[in-house]
């Protein structure tokens, strides 16, 4: 099972840390719990990513702190049972832990499970006046340990494991890219949230189906093809209803009904200067199951036969000359 296993790296920036990607057989649940802390212990290897121009790296005693291994913010990579035993204070010249400041920023850990059971966690932190929407050295971590199945934030052409931005704005959109070694089902979930208001909504938006998937209370399952899917998903904090992104003219002027006895989708377009061009159907996994060009039909009575579809809920995506709108239908 693990013959093709490629190990990953945990990552740390001023936003926080993320664990390495791992397959199901390594830790039993497809993820690693080894998140690097603020402090790098003696003997722990690491590497840094520099800019294109480079520059000197300086280490000095002013950067050192005495932090016990059992401190919650200490790196646990090299902990052993012996390290965690209570030692006498006489073992150290001064065992008072150094004082350091921790600011409570809003952070969300987005999890991804691939068709072959790899789990990747990426971190988004709202660092207020310390970062912004651009690429922020020290806060953003480039995705440098790509796996056959993986996930990352998209910032332009840059792929990030950790993204630090400014103040929280529930209208902001954070594009997410995924890779899958094979076609199949993936899962998005929340691995953790810090310092958000109670009841904060979190969604994965699928631009292919125009569906907002609520992941606040549990994972959502979708289907992707093999390879990279970088322009389809995004992390959002409001749904289409609360954002008001749907054109009310299209919503109110185009009516959709499904005639079960005739396996027929009936669309009535009552908007004089709008033409319904295409009709697409998606199942709840985001798979496209049907497409029809209807631009030449009577716009007051568009008839679309839809046969051989399994019972269930579907999304009807209607493409018009002035935008698009979507509806849910149930096929029994």
CA atoms within 13 A on the CB side of 202: 27
Binned at pLDDT 50, 70 and 90, residue 24 comes out as: low
Q: How far apart are CA 159 and CA 142, in angstroms?
A: 6
Res. 82: pLDDT tops 60: no
The number of beta carbons lying within 10 Å of the beta carbon of residue 276 is 23
Please say if the pLDDT value at position 157 is more than 50: yes
E strand or H helix that includes residue 252 = helix 248-253
Q: Which single residue is written with the structure tokens 């949230």?
A: 193
Q: 248-331 has which CATH code?
A: 2.60.40.3080
Q: Is the pLDDT of residue 90 over 60?
A: no
Q: How many CA atoms lie within 13 A of 114 on its CB side?
A: 30
Fill in the DSSP letter of residue 145. Answer: S
d(CA 207, CA 294): 22
Instruction: List 123's β-bridge partners, or say none.
Output: 109, 162
> Per-residue confidence at 246, pLDDT binned at 50, 70, 90?
very low
In DSSP notation, 185-220 reads EEEEEEEEEESPPTT---EEEETTTTEEEE-SSS-E
Is pLDDT of 113 > 60? yes
Q: Cβ-count burial of 267 within 10 angstroms (0-12 exposed, 13-18 middle, 19+ buried)? A: buried
pLDDT, average across residues 63-87: 60
Question: Any idea where the domains of the chain sit in the sequence?
Answer: 103-242, 248-331
pLDDT per residue over 296-331, tens digit each? 999 999 999 988 888 888 999 998 988 888 888 888
Determine the 3-state secondary structure of 31 from DSSP: strand
Distance between CA atoms of 191 and 18, rounded to whole angstroms? 11
**Residue 153 neighbours by CB distance under 10 Å:** 24
pLDDT at 187 over 90: yes
pTM more than 0.75: no
Residue 274: name the closest of 299, 303, 248 by CA. 299
DSSP letter string, 157-194: TEEEEEEEESS--TT-EEEEEEEESSSEEEEEEEEEEE
Average of per-residue pLDDT values in the chain: 83
Calculate the CA 238 to chain-centre distance. Answer: 14
């Amino acid at each position: 099972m693990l013959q093709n296993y490629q190990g990953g790296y945990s990552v740390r920036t001023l936003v926080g840390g993320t664990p390495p990607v791992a397959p199901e057989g390594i830790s039993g649940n497809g993820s690693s719990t080894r998140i690097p802390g603020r402090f790098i212990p003696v003997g722990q290897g690491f590497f840094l990513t520099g800019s294109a121009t480079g520059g000197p790296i300086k280490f000095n005693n002013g950067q050192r702190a005495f932090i016990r291994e059992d401190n919650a913010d200490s790196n646990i990579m090299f902990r052993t049972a012996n390290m965690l035993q209570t030692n006498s204070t006489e073992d150290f010249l001064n065992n008072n832990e150094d004082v350091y400041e921790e600011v409570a920023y809003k952070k969300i850990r987005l999890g991804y499970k691939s068709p072959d059971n790899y789990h990747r966690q990426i971190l988004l932190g709202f660092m207020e006046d310390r970062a912004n929407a651009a690429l922020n050295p020290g806060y953003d971590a480039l995705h440098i340990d790509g796996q056959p199945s993986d996930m990352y934030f998209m910032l332009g052409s840059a792929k990030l494991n950790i993204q630090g931005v400014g103040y929280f704005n529930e209208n902001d959109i954070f594009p997410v890219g995924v890779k899958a070694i094979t076609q199949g089902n993936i899962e998005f979930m929340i691995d953790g949230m810090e310092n958000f208001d109670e009841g904060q909504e979190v969604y994965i938006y699928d631009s292919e189906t125009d569906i907002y998937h609520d992941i606040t209370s549990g994972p959502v399952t979708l289907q992707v093809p093999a390879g990279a899917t970088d322009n389809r998903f995004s992390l959002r904090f409001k749904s289409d209803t609360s954002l008001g992104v749907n054109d009310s003219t299209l919503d109110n002027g185009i009516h959709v009904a499904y005639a079960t006895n005739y396996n027929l989708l009936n669309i009535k377009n009552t908007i004089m200067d709008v033409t319904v061009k295409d009709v697409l159907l998606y199942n709840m996994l985001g798979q496209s199951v049907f497409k029809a060009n209807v631009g030449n039909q009577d716009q007051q009575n568009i008839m679309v036969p839809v046969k051989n579809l399994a019972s269930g809920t579907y999304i009807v995506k209607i493409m018009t000359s002035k935008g698009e709108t979507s509806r849910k239908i149930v096929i029994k």
